[in-house]
Structure 1
Amino acid sequence: HVGFEFEAYGLFSSMLGLLLTFRTGQAYSRFWGGILDAYEVTGGLFTVASNLMAFAAFGQATEKEVLVFRHRMARLVSLLSAMMLSQLEGKDSLNSEQGY
């Protein structure tokens, strides 16, 4: 018969449960904070791209140059967004098979 301290076990279990609950809550909060920040950044990129598209027509460029500029900016902003999101995934490069 081995003596077992039930009070010590209960205290240890309670403290461990409290610690795990706190740590899980913190991790969950940080995860959703990161998700919201990622959406904010991509939303900011969309705003910048739409402003560039809207105000490109008011310059001195020809209609064809404006169209080329708009297409190029759409592709560059799309590429930047894909690169940022792939960096968040922990990947170093973009592969065409991934659909980016």
Structure 2
Amino acid sequence: MKSNLKTLDQLIEETYGKLGSPSRNKFEWGAQLFKISAMIKVARLNLMLTQKEFAIKCGTSKYAISIAENNLIEIRISTLQKIVELGLGGRLVINIKL
């Protein structure tokens, strides 16, 4: 009996195309932004801070934190750096793969 089950990678490729295609690149970019947003929100909640309290700790606005957590627009690297370094006590590291 043949299975109709597909892997997640197969479904993504069928829906958005192969790696490197414009539609797949757009999907991958959105997926990365979503992951960053989710990590920021989980980290803030783990600190048991409101968005306003977290914004003060980060040296930014509640609006910027809301935007970052809800992936409404692309976050500026400088804002992300404030969130990671001032708000979370971490270090922002960016890698470029060619």
TM-score, normalized by length of structure 1?
A: 0.38
Q: Which structure shows the bigger proportion of residues in helix conformation?
A: 1
TM-score, normalized by length of structure 2?
A: 0.38
